[in-house]
Amino acid sequence: MSNAATGESNEHIISSIINLVCPECGGRMSEFQCEGRCGKNWLAEWEWANQATRSSKSRLHGHAARKAVAITASGDEWCHR
């Protein structure tokens, strides 16, 4: 699975659970427990999706910060807009 697909999947899981809709069967949820057809408990997936989303955002932010430092250190003018 590509990083984009994984990110989309994580976002789908997070959004569905926030809206109390089971990401798998579309049933109603109470906290992390599906009350629909699948009856799945989504707590582990919720925690994993949140951690994966935070990690990817942190890596992206870290890359941009390192690039800005490298540009500044090289003596080039850098303006953040």
DSSP count for the chain of H helices, then E strands: 2, 2
- What tens digit of pLDDT does each residue of 38-59 get? 999 999 999 999 998 888 766 5
Please state whether the predicted TM-score (pTM) of the whole model is above 0.95: no
Q: Is the separation of the CB atoms in 44 and 32 below 8 Å?
A: no
Inform me whether the pLDDT recorded for 72 exceeds 50.
no
> What does the alpha-carbon distance between residue 77 and residue 54 come to, in Å, rounded to a whole number?
31
